[in-house]
Amino acid sequence: MSFVISQTGRTFFRGIIAPPKFLMFDAYYCCLMAGLDARKIGSTEDLDSDPFLNGYPDDFKGQADIIAGLLIDAELDRKDIQAEDRASIEREMTRLIDPTSATRLNNDGDKLLNLYAAAGLALIQDKIMPPSTIEEFLVAYHRFWHVDAEPTEA
Amino acid sequence: MKAEKGDPRVGALHSDLDTAVAEALSAAIDQSTEFKRRLRKLIENATTSNLGDDDVREVIELATIDDGLEE
Amino acid sequence: MEIRVLGWRYENLRGGLRDVSIDLESAPGRWTLIQMPNGTGKTTTMSLFRAAFSGEHLTPDFVRDLRAADDVDNGLFEVRLSIDGKPFRIQVRLNFKDGTHQYWTARSEVRSGGLEEGLSLPVDLKRLLTSDFTRLFVFDGELAKEIRAVGKDRAAMAIRTLYRLDRLEHLNVQIGRLVEEQQQRAAAVSTATERKGVTRWKRAYDAAVARKTALAAEQRELQKRRKEMEARRTKLAAEINERIEQDDALKLRKSQLDSERETIDRAIFEATTQGMGVLRLPAKIHPNVVERLRALGNKLTRLKLPKTISAEFFKELAEQPECICGREITPKDKAAILSRADSYLAEDQILVINKMKLALRESSADGAEYTRIATTLNGALRDLRRNKMAHDQLELERVEAGDTELERLRAEVSQLGRDLETSETKLEKLTTRDVIRQRLLDANDQNNIPLCDAEVRRCQEKLATATDTLRFVLQSERVKELVSTVAALALERLRERVRIATNAKLVQFVPSESLQVARIGGSLELGSSGLATKGGVSEGQSLAVAYAFLTSLLTEAPYKLPFIVDSPAVSLDTAVRREVGDLIPDLFDQMIMFVISSEREGFADAFYGRTGVRFITLWRADSERTEVRDGLPFFRSFHQVEAAA
């Protein structure tokens, strides 16, 4: 698995990427979560960059099953596969899952992660200014998820 | 056909050739003793076709050249 | 090392040589005189001897010309040799129809003496027996003239071959080939391996190193400037503090703000640390995520996914003769089962999904924690902004109260901030190793240290390759030059050695004349003194010179070679002929002399009294048949009109 985050993504998060406090993967992951939640994938052209990491960092290893589940969930929804369509659901799972991979996903699944992350980045950039501190980003990212409720804004 | 021990004309350098080698090499004052020794043997081996590319290359690489390329 | 001719044989060759065999016995005598009238194949025999020794290529015309008559398609010449006591049989097989020929060899040591295709002589001997060299001992009358002829280079060639100086020329050819190979290898790295290339890469390398030095200096300067600016900023902050603390009221407010700031910073730090921990758990980002995970888990449970039947089950089933229901599984059924099996999960996939399902259903977290932390952080950030504004307010109040110095200090701080930002950008462009950042900042080897470093290394590699290759070329030239010098010096000495030996022989050959070799260049050059001036040398004298030269030369050969000669005395006048006849017998260990009857007088008769001489007479009885007769009596008395046939 090779994670790719676009040039604009790298520039956007540049002010706060400071391992181990905030990893490049943290940036990628925040974008991925946003993309999966929106059921949107970016295009391959958005991945105009070199992979920055192979495999999950230690802090994320325990989340592999969950992230793979979220991908399948997003794919079912994006393709509008009905909850009762057992055959299609099973086919989706056979299409994406590789038990031997660290991400539990095969190449196709891994590529999809990158595409969801690319779409997520675009959504984040729409709503958030490039952050200069982690605390600022944590607040902004929370607001991004609760854009309707606005519970944190006074 | 192996060279017979008692026959100095097969294998070893002919005395005139030997002298020629000595004369040519003594004039080559820029060259190392090692190079001269190896070149002499190379010439001897050449006359009996007893040499491979690597032997030749090694001797070439021992040659001193005066060209500002040595560092 | 010794080579002796034991005999030879003809089949279907012109001159009536349809089936003629000459046997010199397994231990031939030193001298063999073969009387062959003209037209019985002396020239043919000499040519075929040369071919058998040297393995040279014969022209189709030459081969066809050897045909005995139209009724034969194939012919043969076979020589039996003893080489260091071991028997060898060499055949020249001739195909008259297409003018081709093949060499075959039988060696006692190989293939139990059976014939094998090709000329297989001992390797040292084969190297010596070039076509030209063979003419020295399978003696060609023409060669006697050529040895004296300017421009033919025969004499020098003979010396070079015999003393193996030709191997030194070969060594130089080998060196040339090694240089070419080296250049080809280097071309894979750099196309420039000539001196021009070395110069070019040296220049590029020097330029890159200079640029790297300049960039490093620029970096040091920027870092120094930054340090100075930071120091200046600290100093300014202290000065600003001092000015504020001059007012007791402001001083008090400031100390309150400072302690409040500490609290805020601590709160932000703690909340950020917690926030990052929460952020890295998908289930804690937002209630939606948990909801979706649970929904998926439940969906799978409801659909009884993953199934307990795996793809493997169906693949195994397809191979059975019958289904579990007892029905026969036809090939069509089998194909259908196999194709559908792929849409079932494999066993290990089922395991993963079950594990995933468990994780999904158990993801009990919600977004509350992140919301709490975000709220805290948001508040703290607001406090921080307020604190900064309040701090700023203190300074502004002081400025308004007329502290122009403070106003100046604040302007300087603000300018310093902008300057620092600029120099940060410059430093980043100068030092970043991140490929993406380099691309975005338009960094290249002219303005970025890591890229410049890479360029230095690239130039260094190219330069090294070009230099190594050039060095190898120059070293090769030096070695070739030395080898050529050695060959030239050796040839000079050997020529002199042979010249002295030749002249010593000439004194014996023709004591009455001062016939001397003055110099061996390409040819033998005779001294201008005495009778032997150029152009004034008779054919006989010329032959004497050639013999003297050849014997001097061949006694030095690593092999004792047989000397085979055609009509050795025919061109000599009687006086010289007798001298040659007296002298020649001692020159070689084996001599085979083809003579005609007119050579008996003064030449052949010199052998009559010797022991160990074979006398053989060969003549054409009629147009079809050639007779061979052994023995001196017949040899002496043989009379036949020359070229009777």
Rounded Cα–Cα distance for residues B27 and B37 (Å): 14
Q: Which two tokens stand for residue C456?
A: 């230095």
- Amino acid making up residue C294: R
Say whether B16 and C122 touch across the interface (CB within 8 A). Answer: no
Give the number of other CB atoms < 10 A from CB of residue C429.
17
Instruction: Specify the higher pLDDT residue, B23 or C573.
Output: B23
Instruction: Specify the higher pLDDT residue, A136 or C579.
Output: A136
Q: Which two tokens stand for residue C192?
A: 């420039």
Region C378-400 average pLDDT: 94
Q: Do chains A and B touch (3 or more CB pairs under 8 A)?
A: no
Residue B14 has what DSSP assignment?
P
| % of chain C beyond a pLDDT of 90 | 44
In chain C, what residues touch A14 (CB-CB under 8 Å)?
A: 437
Q: Do chains A and C touch (3 or more CB pairs under 8 A)?
A: yes
- Amino acid making up residue C578: R
C383 has a chain B CB within 8 A of its CB: no
- In C84-243, where do the E strands start and end? 86-95, 100-107, 115-117, 138-139
Q: Is the pLDDT of residue C36 over 60?
A: yes
In chain A, what residues touch C300 (CB-CB under 8 Å)?
A: 89
Rounded Cα–Cα distance for residues C639 and C600 (Å): 12
Rounded Cα–Cα distance for residues C526 and C510 (Å): 14
Q: Best of A88, A95, A135, A147 to disrupt the C interface by mutation (most C CBs within 10 Å)?
A: A135
Partner residues linked to C594 by β-bridges: C34, C566
For residues C220, C225, C230, C235, the Cα torsion angle rounded to the nearest 10 degrees is 130
Confidence of residue A148 (pLDDT cuts 50, 70, 90): low
Partner residues linked to C560 by β-bridges: C2
Rounded Cα–Cα distance for residues A37 and A70 (Å): 8
Rounded Cα–Cα distance for residues B18 and C231 (Å): 80
In contact, C51 and C92? CB cutoff 8 Å: yes
Instruction: Specify the higher pLDDT residue, B70 or C519.
Output: C519
Average pLDDT, chain C: 86
Rounded Cα–Cα distance for residues C278 and A139 (Å): 13
Q: Which two tokens stand for residue C188?
A: 């894979």
Report the candidate in C644, C631, C643, C576 with the shortest Cα–Cα distance to residue C42.
C643
Q: Is the pLDDT of residue A70 over 80?
A: yes
H/E element holding C620? strand C613-620
B38, closest residue in chain C (CA to CA):
C479
Q: Is the pLDDT of residue C597 over 80?
A: yes
Give the number of other CB atoms < 10 A from CB of residue C631.
11
Whole-number Cα distances in Å, A76 to A86, A102, C286, C300: 11, 22, 20, 12
Report the candidate in C458, C478, C459, C468 with the shortest Cα–Cα distance to residue C185.
C468
In contact, C240 and C406? CB cutoff 8 Å: yes
H/E element holding A107? helix A107-127
**Which chains, if any, share at least 3 CB pairs under 8 A with chain C?**
A, B
Region C273-300 average pLDDT: 89
- Amino acid making up residue C203: R
Rounded Cα–Cα distance for residues C161 and C175 (Å): 20
Region C564-568 average pLDDT: 87
CA atoms within 13 A on the CB side of B71: 7
Q: Is the pLDDT of residue C136 over 50?
A: yes
- Amino acid making up residue A138: L
Tell me the residues of chain C between 78 and 107 that have a Cβ less than 8 Å away from chain B: 83-84
User: Measured at the alpha carbon of residue C271, what is the angle toward residues C266 and C274, in degrees to the nearest 5?
Assistant: 130
Look-up of token digits 């000329």: C119
DSSP 3-state of C118: coil
Whole-number Cα distances in Å, C247 to C258, C386, C397, C405, C645: 16, 22, 11, 14, 149
DSSP 3-state of C338: helix
DSSP 3-state of C17: strand
Instruction: Specify the higher pLDDT residue, C540 or C28.
Output: C28
Q: Is the pLDDT of residue C102 over 60?
A: yes
C17 has a chain B CB within 8 A of its CB: no
C534 has a chain A CB within 8 A of its CB: no
Residue C643 has what DSSP assignment?
T
B7 Cβ contact list (under 8 Å, min separation 6) = C1, C558
Say whether A99 and C351 touch across the interface (CB within 8 A). Answer: yes
Whole-number Cα distances in Å, A91 to A110, C370, C508, C558, C630: 17, 35, 110, 87, 104
pLDDT-wise least confident of C76-85, C105-114, C116-125, C239-248? C105-114
Shortest Cα distance from A47 to chain C (angstroms)? Answer: 12
Shortest Cα distance from B9 to chain C (angstroms)? Answer: 6
A4, closest residue in chain C (CA to CA):
C436
Closest by Cβ to C489, choosing from B24, B42, B61: B24
| % of chain C beyond a pLDDT of 70 | 94
pLDDT of residue C111: 61
Say whether C556 and B21 touch across the interface (CB within 8 A). Answer: no
In contact, C36 and C619? CB cutoff 8 Å: yes
B13 has a chain C CB within 8 A of its CB: no
Shortest Cα distance from A48 to chain C (angstroms)? Answer: 9
Say whether A100 and C300 touch across the interface (CB within 8 A). Answer: no
Confidence of residue A153 (pLDDT cuts 50, 70, 90): very low
Rounded Cα–Cα distance for residues B63 and C478 (Å): 7
pLDDT of residue B4: 38
Q: What is the ipTM of this complex?
A: 0.94
pLDDT of residue B7: 41
Q: In chain B, what is the straight-line distance between the N-terminal and C-terminal CA atoms, in Å?
A: 47
pLDDT of residue C190: 63
pLDDT of residue A1: 66
Region A98-127 average pLDDT: 91
Q: Is the pLDDT of residue A144 over 60?
A: yes
Report the candidate in C322, C318, C320, C323 with the shortest Cα–Cα distance to residue C335.
C318
Rounded Cα–Cα distance for residues B29 and C411 (Å): 76
CA atoms within 13 A on the CB side of C440: 18
In chain A, what residues touch C342 (CB-CB under 8 Å)?
A: 94
C372, closest residue in chain A (CA to CA):
A152
Q: At what angle do helices C368-400 and A134-145 cross, to 10 degrees?
A: 130
Report the candidate in C644, C628, C531 with the shortest Cα–Cα distance to residue C35.
C628
Look-up of token digits 């919600």: C366
Most confidently predicted of A93-97, C136-140, C215-219, C627-631: C215-219
Report the candidate in A11, A62, A63, A2 with the shortest Cα–Cα distance to residue A33.
A63
Whole-number Cα distances in Å, C44 to C140, C429, C472, C575, C608: 12, 89, 52, 30, 27
Tell me the residues of chain B between 41 and 70 that have a Cβ less than 8 Å away from chain C: 42-43, 46-49, 51, 53, 56-57, 59-61, 63-65, 67, 69
Phi/psi of residue C381, each to 5°?
A: -65, -40
- Amino acid making up residue C571: S
In chain A, what residues touch C292 (CB-CB under 8 Å)?
A: 37, 70, 73
Whole-number Cα distances in Å, C192 to B23, B60, C184, C474: 37, 21, 11, 15
A71, closest residue in chain C (CA to CA):
C293
| Secondary structure (DSSP) of C529-559 | SSS--TT---HHHHHHHHHHHHHHHHTTSSS
Phi/psi of residue C359, each to 5°?
A: -60, -40
- pLDDT tens column, A113-136: 999 999 999 999 888 988 999 999
* Burial label, C300 (beta-carbon count in 10 A; 0-12, 13-18, 19+): buried
H/E element holding C494? helix C449-509
**Which chains, if any, share at least 3 CB pairs under 8 A with chain B?**
C
C299 has a chain A CB within 8 A of its CB: yes
pLDDT of residue B2: 37
Give the number of other CB atoms < 10 A from CB of residue A47.
20
Report the candidate in C178, C170, C162, C22 with the shortest Cα–Cα distance to residue C564.
C22
pLDDT of residue C358: 80
Q: Do chains B and C touch (3 or more CB pairs under 8 A)?
A: yes
DSSP 3-state of B49: coil
Say whether B43 and C84 touch across the interface (CB within 8 A). Answer: no
Confidence of residue C143 (pLDDT cuts 50, 70, 90): confident
Residue C248 has what DSSP assignment?
H
DSSP 3-state of A3: strand
Confidence of residue B1 (pLDDT cuts 50, 70, 90): very low
Closest by Cβ to C343, choosing from A63, A91, A135: A91
Confidence of residue A83 (pLDDT cuts 50, 70, 90): confident
Look-up of token digits 């009221």: C249
Closest by Cβ to C381, choosing from A69, A99, A136: A136
Partner residues linked to C526 by β-bridges: C517
Region A129-145 average pLDDT: 94
DSSP 3-state of C626: strand
For residues C110, C112, C117, C122, the Cα torsion angle rounded to the nearest 10 degrees is 30
Q: At what angle do helices B33-47 and B15-27 cross, to 10 degrees?
A: 150
Q: Is the pLDDT of residue B70 over 70?
A: no
Say whether C345 and A94 touch across the interface (CB within 8 A). Answer: yes
In contact, C370 and A142? CB cutoff 8 Å: yes
pLDDT-wise least confident of A38-52, C46-60, C457-471? A38-52
Q: Is the pLDDT of residue A72 over 90?
A: yes
Rounded Cα–Cα distance for residues C625 and C518 (Å): 50
Region C82-110 average pLDDT: 90
Instruction: Specify the higher pLDDT residue, C188 or B62.
Output: B62
pLDDT-wise least confident of B59-68, C195-204, C367-376, C511-520? C511-520
Instruction: Specify the higher pLDDT residue, C109 or A131.
Output: A131
Say whether C299 and A135 touch across the interface (CB within 8 A). Answer: no
Q: Is the pLDDT of residue C86 over 80?
A: yes
Closest by Cβ to C471, choosing from B20, B23, B65: B65
In chain A, what residues touch C424 (CB-CB under 8 Å)?
A: none
Say whether A26 and C375 touch across the interface (CB within 8 A). Answer: no
B22 has a chain C CB within 8 A of its CB: no
Closest by Cβ to C343, choosing from A87, A97, A136: A87
Q: Is the pLDDT of residue C264 over 50?
A: yes
Q: Is the pLDDT of residue C620 over 80?
A: yes
- Amino acid making up residue C68: A
pLDDT-wise least confident of C31-45, C361-375, C531-545, C623-637? C531-545
pLDDT of residue C529: 55
B29 has a chain C CB within 8 A of its CB: no
Q: How many residues does chain C have?
A: 645
Q: Is the pLDDT of residue C580 over 80?
A: no
In chain B, what residues touch C483 (CB-CB under 8 Å)?
A: 39, 43
Instruction: Specify the higher pLDDT residue, A120 or C558.
Output: A120
Q: What is the Cα Rg of chain C in Å? A: 53
